[in-house]
């Protein structure tokens, strides 16, 4: 599919939980089914602070987009694993600051595709790419006529890398990040965060639960040092460096302990290519 073509929506499986619909349920959205909510309840029994974690992550996404538009003059975004439309979608945050900002959303969930098309149909500065985020050649081909390749792009990988397994080949999350970084224009940025936990039981139990519930559409809860390795060769924006995302340039005082996720956190930061 290239920019300008109308994509078709493929089959939505209402009997198997999807990460996109579960995340929507955790954020308090209504674009989800009973199977997704049941899976969320199982997840909450292992990691009770997950709703807080989802909301804190979504707030980080908004902050980081505002930062890139206002402080770094980035007016183009490639959002990998964009999720279902929710509060403060990337194009809304960016276009609120500059109406010419362009956003290409990438996701492989058919529901994201269907809702994305519906709400974005009349916004010429947005597009939805139905692709596995590891399929960089499909994504870059689809976005070829959409972006100005002389200008910086913000490539977002926000709360998505835990959906990808380690494969030690070109499908590995680390290999994907390197490939995307190498294709971006000079002055571009990468935003990367994923679920980490220092509790081995949480890492194992959540990974098992999500892998089984989603029929294998899941990778791994990792440790901070594994996420740090995804930034190798990139220049990390420091301060704040790589942190729990609630501490990444908070625009209000950072949340006290009772308003932080405790079982697992979203950990990462921003880097210049
Ligand atoms: C937790 S949501 C994150 C949504 C959004 N980035 C945010 O932070 O608010 C993860 C999203 O990644 C998508 N996703 C998971 N694996 C994917 C893959 N291999 N290719 C494309 N999208 C994927 C899911 O469908 C889901 O919409």
Is 11 domain-assigned? no
Residue 118 lies in a domain: yes
Does position 180 have pLDDT exceeding 90, yes or no? yes
> What's the average model confidence in pLDDT over 172-195?
98
Residue 30 has pLDDT above 70, yes or no: yes
Give the C-alpha distances (Å, rounded to integers) separating 16 from 38, 101, 203, 205, 210. Answer: 11, 35, 22, 19, 11
Residues 80-127: tens digit of each pLDDT? 999 999 989 999 999 999 999 999 999 999 999 999 888 888 899 999
The pLDDT of residue 3 is 57
- Residue 187 in domain: yes
Q: Which CATH number is 257's domain given?
A: 3.40.50.150
Can you give the pTM of this predicted structure?
0.95
Residue 20 CB–ligand 1 contact under 6 Å? yes
Task: Give me ligand 1 centre to Cα 89, in Å.
Answer: 13
Q: 240 pairs with which residues across the strands?
A: none
Residue count (the chain): 273
Cβ of 23 below 6 Å from ligand 1: yes
Residue-level pLDDT at 9: 55
- Domain hosting 75: range is 19-272
Kindly indicate the confidence band of residue 224, based on its pLDDT and cuts at 50, 70 and 90. very high
Residues 235-254 as b or e (16 or more Cβ within 10 Å = b) = ebbeeeebbbbbbbbeeeee
- Inside any domain, residue 94: yes
User: Considering its fold, how many domains does the chain have in total?
Assistant: 1
Q: Which whole number is the average pLDDT over 178-185?
A: 98
Q: Is the CB of 61 under 6 A from ligand 1?
A: yes
Quote the mean pLDDT of the chain. 94
Residue 14 in any domain: the answer is no
Q: How far is the CA of 82 from the centre of ligand 1 (A)?
A: 5
């Amino acid at each position: 599919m290239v920019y300008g073509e109308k994509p078709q929506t493929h089959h939505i499986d209402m009997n198997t939980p999807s990460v996109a619909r579960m995340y929507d349920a955790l954020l308090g959205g209504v674009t989800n089914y009973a199977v997704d909510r049941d899976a969320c309840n199982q997840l909450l029994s292992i990691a009770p602070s997950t709703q807080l974690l989802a909301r804190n992550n979504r707030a980080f996404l908004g902050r980081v987009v505002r930062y890139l538009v206002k402080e770094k003059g980035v007016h183009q975004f490639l959002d990998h694993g964009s999720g279902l439309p929710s509060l403060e979608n990337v194009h809304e945050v960016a276009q609120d600051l500059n109406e010419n900002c362009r956003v290409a959303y990438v996701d492989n969930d058919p529901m994201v595709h269907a809702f994305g098309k519906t709400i974005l149909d009349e916004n010429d500065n947005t597009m939805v790419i139905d692709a596995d985020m590891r399929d960089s050649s499909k994504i870059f081909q689809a976005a070829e006529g959409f972006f100005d390749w002389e200008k910086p792009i913000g490539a977002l990988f926000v709360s998505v890398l835990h959906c990808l397994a380690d494969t030690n080949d070109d499908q590995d999350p680390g290999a994907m990040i390197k490939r995307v970084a190498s294709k971006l224009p000079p002055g571009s940025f990468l935003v990367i965060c994923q679920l980490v936990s220092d509790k081995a039981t949480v890492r194992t139990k959540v990974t098992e639960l999500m892998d089984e519930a989603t029929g294998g559409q899941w990778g791994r809860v990792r440790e901070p040092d594994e996420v740090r390795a995804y930034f190798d060769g990139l220049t990390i924006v420091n301060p704040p460096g790589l942190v729990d995302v609630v501490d990444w340039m908070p625009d209000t005082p950072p949340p006290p302990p009772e308003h932080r996720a405790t079982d697992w956190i979203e950990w990462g930061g921003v880097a210049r290519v």
